[in-house]
Amino acid sequence: MMRARILKAVSGLIPERILRRPSVQIVRSRLAVAQRLRRSDVGAGVPVVCEFRLDDSAAWRAQFAAALWSLSRAASASHDRMAWMLCIGLPPESPEDLYALAVQADPVVQLHILTDQAEAQDFTDRYVPPASLQEARARRWPDIVEALSQAGTLPNAFTRATSTRAAAHTFVKQIGGESPVVVVHIDEAPAVIAALRAEPGSVQGLKILVVGDILGASDQIWSNADVLLVRRMGYTLLEELALVQACDGYVGYADHYAILAADAGIPCLLSNLPASFATTSGGVSPAVDILGDFPRWLSRHVNNVQARQ
């Protein structure tokens, strides 16, 4: 301890070029981490940790996004605290989607994908400060509905500036973004297409971007000229999430796209929220709507975009 203090005290006398040397940085890192691991109090320098357990749910991306939303908000509330996401269990498909979601948050989220509970235990024993762990286990992490109900009423969590977002903004402009652009989940696309056919011209110049896994989609959707399947353009979840935040509305489920959209204050029309959502969830995000059909929602929310313009 004494040596650590001495090293810390003399570091101000050491030239910057020496301090930048990897060997010096390594030593300083080890000392800083050792000090952090001894901390019993929550505060600056102690990471905010979330232990996220992957179960067999098909909605793991949405659950992860909800936990991430809360983690990011907790970390941003106190400066000089990193956010660590411990994901316990491997996703059943497309593990890269965990990273695509994690990098939406600002402050930066450090992602640890641990294969099972035993691995997580080893990791936390060795690297996670006890104070962080206690804090994490005392915290109640929101489920999808809770995150949706609050996202949009609180300051944004998913605000990390990236070139992917910049590219999404440009893309939306290139396809005619002066008119409304709505992102639709692939499973909702047939209903949206049918609704638009029933009321042609309901929104002038409306552009529809379809997100989600398209392999299982019908040929009717694949060949439909009224919608753009963004996965056919080489886009992945990373780009899709950026598009959701760059558009004027999201139609789909209470999923990870919805959480990102709601966080950015973008109107959502979601079909699988419980009917009690509007009354039970306290401060309901004005962005999230479960009432009405697509044309009504369009005229209420997306036409407002035109009015604002």
Number of amino acids touching another protein (CB under 8 A): 57
- Least Cβ distance, residue 99 to another protein (angstroms): 6
Rounded CA separation 242/98 (Å): 15
Q: Does 3 bind another protein (CB under 8 A)?
A: yes
Q: Does 25 bind another protein (CB under 8 A)?
A: yes
Is 268:261 a contact under the CB 8 Å cutoff? yes
Radius of gyration over every alpha carbon of the chain, rounded to an integer in angstroms? 23
- The kind and range of the H/E element at 25 are helix 22-37
Q: Does 95 bind another protein (CB under 8 A)?
A: yes
Q: Does 17 bind another protein (CB under 8 A)?
A: no
Q: Which segment (23-31, 55-63, 193-201, 301-309) binds another protein by CB under 8 A?
A: 23-31
Q: Does 99 bind another protein (CB under 8 A)?
A: yes
- Least Cβ distance, residue 100 to another protein (angstroms): 6
SS3 284: coil
CA atoms within 13 A on the CB side of 181: 20
- Least Cβ distance, residue 232 to another protein (angstroms): 6
Q: Does 208 bind another protein (CB under 8 A)?
A: no
First to last CA, the chain: 62
Is 222:193 a contact under the CB 8 Å cutoff? no
CA atoms within 13 A on the CB side of 192: 28
Is 170:181 a contact under the CB 8 Å cutoff? no
- Least Cβ distance, residue 235 to another protein (angstroms): 8
Hunting for tokens 């003399």 — which residue is that? 10
Contact residues for 5 (Cβ-Cβ < 8 A; gap 6+): none
- Crossing angle of helices 256-263/60-77, nearest 10°? 30
- Least Cβ distance, residue 219 to another protein (angstroms): 10
Q: Does 1 bind another protein (CB under 8 A)?
A: yes
x/- mask, another protein, residues 244-283, rule CB under 8 A, reads: ----------------------------------------
Q: Does 238 bind another protein (CB under 8 A)?
A: yes
Q: Does 138 bind another protein (CB under 8 A)?
A: no
In the complex with another protein, the residue whose CB is nearer, 207 or 231, is 231
Task: Please state, in angstroms and as integers, the Cα–Cα distance from residue 241 to each residue in 35, 123, 172, 216, following that order.
Answer: 38, 30, 13, 20
Q: Does 170 bind another protein (CB under 8 A)?
A: no
| Residues at the interface with another protein (CB under 8 A) | 1, 3-4, 21-23, 25-34, 37, 82, 90-96, 99-100, 102-103, 108, 110-115, 119, 122-123, 125-127, 161-164, 213-216, 229, 231-234, 236, 238
